[in-house]
Amino acid sequence: MLNTKVMSGWMSSAVALGLLASSGVSASAEEVLNIYTSREPGLIKPILDEFTKETGVKVNTIFLSNGLEERVRSEGQNSPADVILTVDIGRLQAAKDYGVTQPVKSAALEKVIPAAYRDPEGHWYGVSMRARVVYASKDRVKQDKITYEELANPKWKGKVCIRSGQHLYNISLFAAVIAHKGEAKAEEWLKGLKANLAKKPSGGDREQAKDILAGVCDIGIGNTYYVSLMRNGKDEEQKKWGEAINVILPTFEGGGTHVNISGLALAKYAPNKANAEKFMEYMVSDDAQHLHAEANSEYPVKQGIKIHPTIASFGELKADTVAIAEIAKLRKKASELVDKVGFDQ
């Protein structure tokens, strides 16, 4: 059992979910599973509840919006973390690079998850996908197709909105551009995109839709699931933002639509390894894939699972075939290019 002093430290910086006891977290009992996650609590709770219902394994969850990998590394061999559940290839790869994961060899995972969405050495596995797409004004943009390359075309000068170029979602997209076009051409493309910006990069993906409604710009770049959250949420203002835009699924010339993943990894010193592997395999079951797709408005990695109606309305996703692991290797170069061209300035 962890002492109350350690538990107090956790509670000061994290939100405890599920059946996390105030007196401590069991790090060794076979009937528990300890998950460290950067996913919003409300989005994953239905999945965790169903896992407990099916297996009888009690799930303890620590939510950390930032610094998850650092936390696990600082805890070292005493870490109670069994599973790391997070978003974006950058965070998954960071967990591996920090040395806080261990490889998993699972026929169940490999059968369901395409090779492009898992680490070649088994350190992380993608369990859902989101596409980085174009938000287009319903009133001012008439075309329904676009390439990522076209975003740098002068025809869009002063008409593009985007969040910070250094945000992990954009870094992954820019890394994908490098993968397709090489570093030199990616730099020219990034300069062209910057020249087309209507304003300094700022806000989140939802704010790009807000600015389109306000007439600040005609197109924005954002993730697919935010549109569903805006249109189907309770915030009336955000509903207006979501309804003001059409979603265009861009493609690379000779390629597909850039996708990123939400995924998980087995913690290096997982005290409940058997339960952790059981949970990882559960996450690619039909029930879990459906719950995940429904709750998070993401694309399931498993074929044949029904997609959230709002996401399905965007049209058929033809995902790019560049492996996520290859994109992860280019993220540092992408970040350097953002600074080099002064994208956020």
Q: What is the pLDDT of residues 11-57, one digit of tens each?
A: 333 334 333 333 234 444 459 999 999 988 778 899 999 999 999 99
Examine the domain organization and report whether 112 and 171 are in the same domain: no
Is 98 part of any known ligand binding site?
Answer: no
Examine the domain organization and report whether 12 and 116 are in the same domain: yes
What number is the average pLDDT over the span 52-66?
93
Let me know how many helices (H) and strands (E) the chain has, helices first: 15, 11
**Lowest-confidence range among 38-52, 126-140, 298-312?**
38-52
80/3 Cα distance (integer angstroms): 12
What number is the average pLDDT over the span 126-138?
97
110/100 Cα distance (integer angstroms): 21
Question: Is 181 exposed, middle or buried (CB count within 10 Å of its CB: 0-12, 13-18, 19+)?
Answer: middle
CB contact burial 15-42 (16+ within 10 A = b; e otherwise): ebbbebeeebbbbeeeebbbbbbbbeee
Domain containing 150 — which CATH number?
A: 3.40.190.10
Examine the domain organization and report whether 12 and 85 are in the same domain: yes
pLDDT band with cut points at 50, 70 and 90 for residue 3: very low
Examine the domain organization and report whether 149 and 239 are in the same domain: yes
- Report if residue 180 sits inside a domain: yes
Contact 125, 265 (CB under 8 A): yes
Contact 109, 280 (CB under 8 A): yes
Examine the domain organization and report whether 328 and 189 are in the same domain: yes
Whether residue 165 is predicted with pLDDT greater than 50 in this model: the reply is: yes
Examine the domain organization and report whether 272 and 246 are in the same domain: no
**Lowest-confidence range among 172-176, 269-273, 290-294?**
290-294
Phi and psi at 164, nearest 5°, equal: -50, 135
- Report if residue 30 sits inside a domain: yes
Q: Please provide the average confidence, as pLDDT, over all residues in the chain.
A: 91
Contact 127, 201 (CB under 8 A): no
- Report if residue 311 sits inside a domain: no
Q: Residue 113: what pLDDT?
A: 97
Residues 6+ apart with CB under 8 A from 172: 88, 89, 90, 132, 258, 260, 327, 331, 334
Contact 133, 314 (CB under 8 A): yes
Is 169 part of any known ligand binding site?
Answer: no
Examine the domain organization and report whether 45 and 133 are in the same domain: no
pLDDT in tens, 195-232: 999 999 999 999 999 999 999 999 999 999 999 999 99
Examine the domain organization and report whether 155 and 222 are in the same domain: yes
Instruction: Using DSSP, state whether 88 is helix, strand or coil.
Output: coil
Question: Is 53 exposed, middle or buried (CB count within 10 Å of its CB: 0-12, 13-18, 19+)?
Answer: exposed
- Per the structure, the count of domains in the chain is 2
Other Cβ atoms closer than 10 A to 282? 18
pLDDT in tens, 141-158: 999 999 999 999 999 999
pTM of this prediction exceeds 0.75: yes
Whether residue 135 is predicted with pLDDT greater than 90 in this model: the reply is: yes
For 245-313, give the DSSP string: EEEE--B-TTS-B-EEEEEEEEETT-TTHHHHHHHHHHTTSHHHHHHHHHHH--EESSTTPPPPHHHHT
Q: Residue 286: what pLDDT?
A: 96
What number is the average pLDDT over the span 54-80?
94
Tokens of 56: 């009888």
Q: Residue 23: what pLDDT?
A: 29
- Report if residue 119 sits inside a domain: yes
Q: Residue 253: what pLDDT?
A: 97
Examine the domain organization and report whether 112 and 159 are in the same domain: no
- Report if residue 185 sits inside a domain: yes
Examine the domain organization and report whether 144 and 90 are in the same domain: no
What number is the average pLDDT over the span 180-200?
98
73/75 Cα distance (integer angstroms): 5
Examine the domain organization and report whether 226 and 323 are in the same domain: yes
Which range marks the domain in which residue 247 is found?
129-257+317-340
Q: Residue 30: what pLDDT?
A: 54
32/34 Cα distance (integer angstroms): 7
For 117-163, give the DSSP string: GB-TTSS-EEEEEEEEEEEEETTT------BTGGGGSGGGTT-EE-S
Instruction: Using DSSP, state whether 229 is helix, strand or coil.
Output: helix
169/258 Cα distance (integer angstroms): 11
Q: Residue 295: what pLDDT?
A: 87
What number is the average pLDDT over the span 101-120?
97
What number is the average pLDDT over the span 89-110?
96
Q: Residue 71: what pLDDT?
A: 95
Q: Residue 5: what pLDDT?
A: 33
Examine the domain organization and report whether 215 and 294 are in the same domain: no
Whether residue 96 is predicted with pLDDT greater than 70 in this model: the reply is: yes
